[in-house]
Amino acid sequence: MRTALLILSFLLALHLGGCASGSGGPAAVTPGSRSPLLAEKLTQQAIAELDPTPPDKPNPAKAEQLLKDALAADLFHGPAHNNLGALYLEQGRLYEAASEFDWACKLMPGHPDPRLNLAMTLEHAGRVDEALDEYATALAVYPNHMPTLQAMTRCEIKHSRPTDHTSVHLREIALAGEDQTWRAWAQQQLVKSRGAGD
C-alpha cells in the first residue's frame, strides 16, 4: 500500500506561509501493542480528510484526531508523525510540529519529507542556520530532491545566505522546478544575480 505523505507544498511557494508522541517517545511502546496496518489505514483516512473529494471541505480537526488514533495504534508509524507535524505547522504550533517531524525523521531515515518539513518549521521559527543545516541533511538523504532544493535555495536568498552552490541550484530549478511558478522564480533570481554582478 502506497504511503502518502503531506509535504506542505503550499508553504513552499516562494514565501514560507503561515504529539501524540508525547514525552515518552516511541521507546514507551511494546512491539506487541503495535498495529501498523491500522495506523496506515487511519493515516490514509486523515489524508482524505485534508484533501477531500469536492464538494466536501477539508476537516483538519478530524484529520488530527485520526492521526492521533493512528499513533495510538502504532507510535512507530512515521507517516502519521509527519502528517500530524504538517497539521501543527499549518496551525502555527511550531514546537509541536518540530517534535513530530523529529520523530518522523528518526522513523523514516531514508525519506526527505520529514527533514524538509522540519527545516521549514525551523525557518518559520527564525532559526535560519539550523533550517539550512536541516535542508542540507534532507538533500544528503535524498540528493536532488526538488522540493528541498527549492526550499533551501529560497531560504538562502530570502535570508541573504547564498553559498557557492546557490546559482547552480537556481539553474537546476529554472530547468526542472516542480511547476512554472518555481521555474519563473529561479529565472528571475538568476537575472537579478547577473545584474548585481555587472
Q: What is the pLDDT of residues 39-92, one digit of tens each?
A: 999 999 999 999 988 888 999 999 999 999 999 999 999 999 999 999 999 999
Q: What angle do CA 141, 108, 98 make, to 5 degrees?
A: 90
DSSP string, 128-192: HHHHHHHHHHHHHHSTT-HHHHHHHHHHHHHTT---TTHHHHHHHHHHH-SSHHHHHHHHHHHHH
Q: How far apart are CA 102 and CA 31, in angstroms?
A: 21
Task: Give the model's confidence band at 30: pLDDT under 50 very low, under 70 low, under 90 confident, else very high.
Answer: low
* In the predicted structure, residue 33 carries a pLDDT above the cut 50: yes
CA distances from 105 to 19, 77, 118, 121, 152 (A): 14, 11, 9, 13, 18
